[in-house]
Structure 1
Amino acid sequence: MHLVAFGLNHHTAPLAIREKLAFPAETLPSALASLVGSHAAREAAIVSTCNRTEVYCAANDPDAALAWLAAFHHMDAAELAPYLYRLDASSAARHAFRVASGLDSMVLGETQILGQIKDAIRVAEHEGTLGTMLNGLFQRTFAVAKEVRSKTAIGASSVSMAAAAVKLAEQIFPTISELKVLFIGAGEMIELVATHFAARNPSCITVANRTLERGEKLAAQLNGNAMLLSELPESLARYDVVVSSTASTLPIVGKGLVERAIKARRHRPMFMLDLAVPRDIEAEVAELNDVFLYSVDDIANIVEVGREARQVAAEQAEVIIRERVDEFLGWLKQRDSVPTIRALRDEGERIRRHALDAALKQLAKGEPAEQVLEALSKQLTNKLLHPPTQALSQARGDEQDALIDTIARLYRLNRSDV
């Protein structure tokens, strides 16, 4: 069984492709069940964020698992091929360690990705698709991320995407305190961004969500108010800033809706930030005058601040990761020998039981115990030494030399005496 990882991220694929391959949270359980149920993989875990979709699996046929990914999203494998990476055990471990440590993120050193990976692993564990191999990989992944954080300054001076959202808005409007801000969605990303905006004391904060209860809970933390998504058409024009991040598979805000809102605003500018993958706001909205629409990829330059200082820490982190990858590969190699060890012990137990049964029968017949024990010891010795002895006597040339070295090491024999 092979450990493999494959997927795409912000380095290899544009947003238009990433959103096609995303797994919304509500689809993850069924996707994992489909992958393992199709026998394309024995174990599976899926990490899907705004910047990446990655499948980690233990599979007998990695090609079948890769084909499953395209089929699940109703895409042509050839269309995906230019954007996908496929990693073997060594590369998959290194990649997982780097991602969890924030070395592969748009924001070098950011910490949110670690929580997202842990969430993904909890789902896989709950669905029963996290076996021994993947559990071993991700337990080490979390340990490596912790070690990198504690031994390097990888997270120092980082500008999060949430903070970058505020910086973008400040480039368009003179002050946040005079703005009305609308957040669409009530998940973790929205909560992070909303917290940064709330610190600037905007004149109004509103959370629009599919369920009012969850929206009200977040709004209460921000001293704002909540509304249902269905109220957007009548309310959108009131807001200067709109930040959206939901798990919807289809756009929530269309070009026509924004066009009507801008007209009602008498063309006062509107800043819109779409952090969702797939996107919540139709890309065509960017064509409208007085609308400043940004996606997750558009804020990359802003989050580069402080990257040079963190790069030194990243190099230190890479050293730690290389060492931990070697340790993980050693663990994998040990696992390869487990079936042989189990079979060897089973064979030894079979020989022991057979010899013991024979000895018990002899004792039952009244034969002397010393004589029975002597026969038992000889039988066990002969049975256990017969396979290596026979192999040695039948081997020739290099094979015989190799066997002699192996047996000498196994039985701790002095090589000069054999």
Structure 2
Amino acid sequence: MSVLALGLNHGSAPLDLRGRFAIPLEALGRSVQGLRNHLARAAPEVAILSTCNRTELYVGLPPSACPRHAIELVEPSIEWLARQGGTSADSLRGHSYFLHGAEAARHAFRVASGLDSMVLGEPQILGQMKQAVREAEGAGALGTTLHQLFQRSFAVAKEVRSSTEIGAHAVSMAAAAVRLATQLFGELSQTRVLFVGAGEMIELVATHFAAHEPMSLTIANRGRERGQVLCERLGAQPLALAELGTRLQDFDVVVSCTASSLPLIGLGAVERALKARRRRPMLMLDLAVPRDIEPEVGELDDIYLYTVDDLALQVQVNGERRQAAVLQAEQIVAAGVHGFSHWLEQRASVPLIQALQRRTDDWREAELAKARRALARGQDVDAVMEALSNALTRKLLHGALAELHSSAGEAHQHWMDSVQRMFLRPDSHRRH
């Protein structure tokens, strides 16, 4: 099969290692083109999915490619990805996975459906996958194989979300964030909450906090328009990112999730904030990959720092309902994998079908030309038609009969079964 998936995620690699491989959205198109150039000899289709929890390469080959050609792309793909993260290929192998054929399709379908997410059913991944597809298309790196893979992924995800309760568990990450805040501060009515970023995760967490009516909500975001929209919806106050260092002491809870490649909140800024707060505790939730908050901040007294991995461990859902939803979703995924595998198999046979049609057309044209010459010489029409039909029949049966005569053992039985299916099926003589 001509599809492979390769990468690392929250299950295979720790947070700080994942952060080294995270690709910002604005660089995704260039990265796709860079990977495709690196694999240029095979001229593959390429797409890259990069989120907080995973960086994955998807590679597709034409139907004429044999499985060996796909396998040969694994090592250069690992080498390219390792170079992006500034590590060795050997180091990366210990934290990565490689999937081929039907298993690659199953993985893509599970990712799109939220089944492979740190928080079961989280909705952001589907939008991130669609963005990855748009970037691959924009780079001219998406062809028929990966287009089918992703479109079928989206269809499976839609069915999973509409037919199961998987989506009901997606809010658990946001709920866990609020639960941590209430454990530390009790009622949230006297707390001031700062959100850094304005993406989907921040919107989800902020909505949960807003429902508990804290004293104030503030949103700091680089893009003014999106931040303003979220402020208006939640009744929050805007804050310029440039003011973050001087205003940090004003907040009891800080939730950050941006696409910054470097930490936005450093140890020194938090130390100054604590001093200004006279050691009143702060809850800091860093949901970004790479980190938005320097990890050393967690070592400070009176600071309670949780990463996205820490928060996932806090998530608790009803086991029986969760398991039932997962089983139902996995059945939908399995049906999708079967359909995609069948499509790939059918597509792989297209060159053979085309060659067969060309060969039979050549035979037909050659025998028609003979028949026309015979008729021009005045030969009997019935005799010419008889000769035409006999010649075509001999040509069509020649290969099968030759194999039956020359084969032995298992090969002979194989050809007997094949000839039976091709020419002697019960309905093969019927007229339609």
Match in the other structure for 1:43: 45
Asked if the contact 1:155–1:310 (Cα under 8 Å) also holds between the matched residues in 2, the reply is no
Unaligned runs of 5+ in 2: 62-68, 427-432
Q: Deviations over 1:278-304 (max 9, x none)?
A: 111111111122221111011123312
Query: Equivalent residue of 1:392, what SS?
Result: helix
Paired letter, 1:392: L
Match in the other structure for 2:99: 87
Structure 1 pair 156–213 and aligned structure 2 pair: CA distance change class (3 A): closer
Asked if the contact 1:47–1:120 (Cα under 8 Å) also holds between the matched residues in 2, the reply is yes
Paired letter, 1:8: L
Q: How does 1:286-365 map to 2 (within 5 A)?
A: 286-357=298-369
Paired letter, 2:14: P
Counterpart Cα distance in 1 of 2:103 and 2:328: 19
Counterpart Cα distance in 1 of 2:57 and 2:291: 21
Counterpart Cα distance in 1 of 2:322 and 2:195: 31
Unaligned runs of 5+ in 1: none
- Relative to structure 2, which stretch is displaced further, 2-11 or 13-22? 2-11
Match in the other structure for 2:139: 127
Counterpart Cα distance in 1 of 2:25 and 2:150: 19
Counterpart Cα distance in 1 of 2:126 and 2:392: 54
Counterpart Cα distance in 1 of 2:378 and 2:246: 100
1:113 aligns with 2:115: no
Match in the other structure for 2:8: 8
- Relative to structure 2, which stretch is displaced further, 280-289 or 234-243? 234-243
Counterpart Cα distance in 2 of 1:148 and 1:214: 30
Counterpart Cα distance in 1 of 2:24 and 2:112: 20
Structure 1 pair 361–281 and aligned structure 2 pair: CA distance change class (3 A): farther
Query: Equivalent residue of 1:8, what SS?
Result: strand
Match in the other structure for 1:183: 195
Percent identity of the aligned residues? Answer: 53
Counterpart Cα distance in 1 of 2:259 and 2:221: 11
Match in the other structure for 2:244: 232
Paired letter, 1:65: S
Asked if the contact 2:106–2:334 (Cα under 8 Å) also holds between the matched residues in 1, the reply is yes
Structure 1 pair 31–367 and aligned structure 2 pair: CA distance change class (3 A): farther
Deviation at 1:388, TM superposition (A): 2.9
Counterpart Cα distance in 2 of 1:240 and 1:146: 39
Among 63, 69, 80, which residue is 2:75 paired with? 63
Match in the other structure for 1:222: 234
- Relative to structure 2, which stretch is displaced further, 277-286 or 185-194? 185-194
Paired letter, 1:119: Q
* TM-score, length-scaled by structure 1: 0.88
Query: Equivalent residue of 2:94, what SS?
Result: helix
Counterpart Cα distance in 2 of 1:24 and 1:409: 55
Q: Deviations over 1:319-338 (max 9, x none)?
A: 44334433433333333322
Counterpart Cα distance in 2 of 1:82 and 1:229: 38
Asked if the contact 2:20–2:86 (Cα under 8 Å) also holds between the matched residues in 1, the reply is no
Counterpart Cα distance in 1 of 2:153 and 2:296: 40
Match in the other structure for 1:275: 287
Deviation at 1:345, TM superposition (A): 1.5
Asked if the contact 2:193–2:253 (Cα under 8 Å) also holds between the matched residues in 1, the reply is yes
Query: Equivalent residue of 1:304, what SS?
Result: coil
Among 263, 267, 283, which residue is 1:255 paired with? 267
Match in the other structure for 2:185: 173
